Structure 1
Amino acid sequence: MASDTRTGDVGIFDRVARLYDLKPATRRRKLAPALALADRDVERVLDVGGGTGQGVRSLDVPEGVVVDAAPGMLAKAQERGVEGVRGDAARLPVAEESVDAVLILDALHHMARPEAVLGEAARVLRPGGVLICLEFDPTTIRGRALVTAEHLFGFESRFFTAGDLAAMVRAAGLSASIPRAGFEYTVAGGKRF
């Protein structure tokens, strides 16, 4: 991430890329309630900070692209048949209003400038499209344990509650809802026509 002063997480992900798919993948059923909020057919999906492309691969869409800052992750995505583009999530190398859905799954807490990332997601969404953010609630018992574990591992993670993330999505100019609550929650942002 060229514009970020914080790059520790990118280096860690680059080093663990070959092992990344050993973690449980996000399943379509977790994303379905948020996908249903799109007011258009979802055919072109951008998986921001998508690593090996697990998220976009779960959707079975005609076109899925991963944007990630870790070259090792992109290499694994491409090995799995997913187009990958190296880029900064806060300055997406994607045209305005060019995708039907933006996924940010288990990734926003690793990004140095989350507000800028959400603004970029809003910029690249077509009207009627949907932003889907899957994150973890740091106020739950499991969330507090996750925060501690990530920091001990060396990540510079910054977690948000579902309400705080929904407010950030609204500030980016999208409608916001929380279709899935709990330790692992989903915030969806819709772009109006």
Structure 2
Amino acid sequence: MIPFNHLGWIFKYIGPAIYPRKVRVSLCTFLIPLPRSASVLDLGAGTGIMSEFAYACRSDLRFTAVDPAEGMLKYSAEYIQTHKAVAERLPFEENSFEAILIGEALHHFVDIEASIDEIVRVLKKEGKLFIYDFDSSTFIGKVLCRVEKILGEPGNFFTPGRLEEILRSHGFSVSIRQYGWRYTIDAKLSVQ
């Protein structure tokens, strides 16, 4: 297993370089329709890099970060409220967030179905979900998946199409953008 609890200082400083400019632009576009002071959850946040990029676009939003590694969360910016927890058991009431961000973390979630059930539970009606991850159908995606599994990680990588199917089955409408061996998903939860 990757010792994330001891790697926060590395991710704080090299992490931002992993996010291409086009992905950051997509994130800003995703955030534009959110109401002023909307609550945003950065799930599998690590050091809160996604929240920092989002804050650069919309400093009026309220950011909460969740990660199981306190050693990562301690490097989060002061405007981010942090919680040590796993995606499968979120410590929040139903309908708590207008948006959820997952940056390069979904593949670390142990139980994808339980995680998505929790996402649906804590998202407000018509809430939005932004995912950035690696495409397991590409050469680099396959290599990353294999390396993560060797290191003891769940390695739950998906093709964009497969993740779209999973999210649609949970009530989301989905838009995908491909960036070579990476992709983003902009999803909206239907009224239930």
Q: With structure 2 as the length reference, what TM-score do the two structures score? A: 0.83
Q: Is the 8 A contact 2:171 2:190 kept in 1?
A: no
Q: Confirm or deny that 1:45 pairs with 2:40.
A: yes
Matched ranges for 1:66-105 at <5 A: 66-77=65-76, 80-105=78-103
1:159 corresponds in structure 2 to 157
Partner Cα distance (2:30, 2:185) in 1: 8
Change (3 A) 1:125 1:140: same
2:53 corresponds in structure 1 to 58
Once the two structures are superposed, residues 61-83 of structure 1 have per-residue CA deviations (whole angstroms, 9 ceiling, x without a partner) of: 43101011111112122x55421
3-state SS of 2:75 partner:
helix
Once the two structures are superposed, residues 61-108 of structure 1 have per-residue CA deviations (whole angstroms, 9 ceiling, x without a partner) of: 43101011111112122x554211011211111111111110111001
2:28 corresponds in structure 1 to 32
1:5 corresponds in structure 2 to none
Point out the more displaced range, 85-94 or 137-146: 137-146
Matched ranges for 1:134-173 at <5 A: 134-173=132-171
Which of 1, 14, 21 matches 2:5?
Answer: 14
Superposed CA RMSD in Å reads: 2.1
Q: Is the 8 A contact 1:177 1:187 kept in 2?
A: yes
3-state SS of 1:23 partner:
helix
Partner Cα distance (2:83, 2:166) in 1: 25
Partner Cα distance (1:132, 1:51) in 2: 16
Q: Is the 8 A contact 1:122 1:131 kept in 2?
A: no
Instruction: For residue 168 of structure 1, report the CA deviation from its aligned partner.
Output: 1.2
Q: Read off the aligned partner of 2:39 and give its amino acid letter.
A: R
Gaps of 5+ in 2: none
Once the two structures are superposed, residues 136-190 of structure 1 have per-residue CA deviations (whole angstroms, 9 ceiling, x without a partner) of: 1111122123223334444331210001111111122222221445411012220
Which of 165, 175, 184 matches 2:182?
Answer: 184
Q: Is the 8 A contact 2:120 2:170 kept in 1?
A: yes
Q: With structure 1 as the length reference, what TM-score do the two structures score? A: 0.83
Q: Read off the aligned partner of 1:45 and give its amino acid letter.
A: V
Instruction: For residue 128 of structure 1, report the CA deviation from its aligned partner.
Output: 2.9
Instruction: For residue 114 of structure 1, report the CA deviation from its aligned partner.
Output: 1.2
Change (3 A) 1:182 1:99: same
Percent identical? 33
Partner Cα distance (1:140, 1:17) in 2: 28
Partner Cα distance (2:95, 2:162) in 1: 25
